[in-house]
Amino acid sequence: MKISKKQKALEILKILKTLYPDATCSLTYDSPVQLLVATILSAQCTDERVNKVTPELFASFPDAIALANADRETLETLIRSTGFYRNKAKNIQGACQKIVEDFNGEVPRTMPELLLLPGVARKTANVVLAHAFGINAGVTVDTHVKRLSQRLGLTKATDPVKIEKDLMPLLPQKDWENFSIRIIYHGRQICKARKPNCQECQLAFLCPSCA
């Protein structure tokens, strides 16, 4: 019997919750601004690498004021191993300066305001809103979510914003971030980019891409 895309998405979510019951954001942080910075650093970089860099970074520059006033070269040196470090340092400093100047030193709690910050697109904003403030404003679409959503037949889109728009109506709002986090875990462990392990995948019976 053919099931609807929404029924499939809900079944996938149910299975993922069973497979990864304790899944949570794998970035290490102590405050909303630290989560914002860590998420900016995670672009085209593993969370594991980011978590090796941030302890020293946050020990030196623990909050928005410190980061806004940081010496740029020192900042670049501390984050160099995450890649694209010059652009990331520029965005981190620009975002923190705007937070200090326009938001009284506090990370804003709405999508439109977060998108005003340098280096912040919907992916970063969704992560910060969900994990710092418990606000599900959308579905975080990273490379894993993009790949698995396409393979599972939940979207044909390639643009992350369009993928997010396709996924949001298929899932309860309270589970938008739950879905993303668990899909990311599954992408790392089973449905890898180059060699998906379809034989071990408990979503295989729902997946049109299964070999």
Query: Exactly one of 5, 47, 90, 142 is catalytic; which is it?
Result: 142
Q: Is 142 a catalytic residue?
A: yes
Query: Exactly one of 8, 123, 166, 175 is catalytic; which is it?
Result: 123
Q: Is 8 a catalytic residue?
A: no
* Dihedral, CA of residue 146, residue 152, residue 158 and residue 159, to nearest 10: -50
Length of the chain: 211
Catalytic positions, please? 123, 142
